Structure 1
Amino acid sequence: METGELSEIPTPLVVAVDGPSGSGKSSVSRAVARDLGLAYLDTGAMYRAATWWCLDQGLPLTDTAAVADAVRALPLVMGVDPDDPTVVVGGTDVTAAIRETAISAAVSAVATNLDARAELGRLQRAAIKAEREPGGFSQGRGIVAEGRDITTVVAPDADVRVLLTASEEARLSRRALDVHGTADASAVEATRDQVLRRDADDSTVVQFHTAADGVVTIDSSHLGFDETVEAVLAVVSAATRA
């Protein structure tokens, strides 16, 4: 999409992107936010941050009530710059720590806790609302928010709603490359449980494999990164023109 076309997109603009693990939604959403001059919200990072917080507090994640209470008190600050999306909990920068294997293995326990999920959803809606209106650090231009239930639960009224998906083979290969730096057979196998189990667990509380009414599906199985970004930008352009 040409720069002139991007500048014609009206604001404030909210773009919601959902998808399974390895679909590319985080990297693609960051690029889309950067190209459109929007803020960027990684809601998956919020679940990871909540998991880090609970483990740091020594809470057993099986204690659903205690986890929900901890999430309600979560001292979370999300950086929404697509070039530097930071995550700070209680004054500690956990941007890197929440990507560690221990958090990846445990995060579903928080993501499937319905009370914790409701609280994080409230925080996500507040973050989206804050970027719709100028004031503070917000320019009121808008935001790209990505996760698993943004198009259906958190921001069903978003201006643009996209389900970004890909084949299981493509998703495992991408995640292996991201985590291990290679997509050979052993690396793919090493990420299989993490990717597929997380999707299976989260599928018990939210639907992110099939697009809801009004949500545009983009299958990136055979698209390169730049092509996928262009496909999302084309959806944004078409939706805003309409």
Structure 2
Amino acid sequence: MSNSISKIPISLSWSGGKDSAFALWKLQNDSRYEVTRLHTTLGEQTRRVGMHGIHEDLIQAQAEALGIPLDRIYYPASGDNVAYEKAINKYLDSLGELGVKHIAYGDIFLEDLRKYREEKLAERNFQAVFPLWKFNTQALAHEFIAAGFKTKICAASAELINENQVGIDFSEDFLESLPELVDPCGENGEFHSFCYAGPVFARPLDIYLEKVLSQTYQIPLENGTIQQKKYWFADIRISNSGF
């Protein structure tokens, strides 16, 4: 009779960025869990990951290099949170049928977001797991680089990040160039990334930067006014691919 204890199956919320990749690495080195699935939320029309701007073909390429099944969750462009939660709940139904009742996230210190995730999952008898929670983001950024992960800056606030920094690697030089008010892991949404190599990948992705694009959004403020915010997006492509 075996004395081994079965690991808890878990689905990891996968944005394609460094925090997702690092959370996966932490989970794979945690004897309590087994990451059996990845899931990514994508715009129904754009087929891209939210503020990352990464196309689903790139996310699928990551999953294949990771050797983990990827589930895609599409949500409407209306921004209706009810519709978004409906899509998530439908996914939770499918996970429950597979016996998966734990969801992991790469969040580090956003308390409100963690509370929201935990409360919504608890309503469905699911449990949230946060492998990177309360890590020092400066130390985490250096550890990520030292571990051999390779990731490119794929989106950033134009107010905080220069256009020529979009599409480059997340590196020690990049960290040194950041203004003091920017979190080293971009935890406040200052920038986002796309991970293409590292210890969790069976092979690196062969990618290149096609161009840098800009997009301006209208953000409603509490005082009733509208603020315009400009973001840079890296148009990242896979070599020898139709995309």
TM-score bin, normalised by smaller chain: 0.3 to 0.5
Going by fraction, where is strand more abundant, 1 or 2? 2
Going by fraction, where is helix more abundant, 1 or 2? 1
Tell me: higher relative CO, structure 1 or 2? Use CA pairs within 8 A at least 6 residues apart: 1
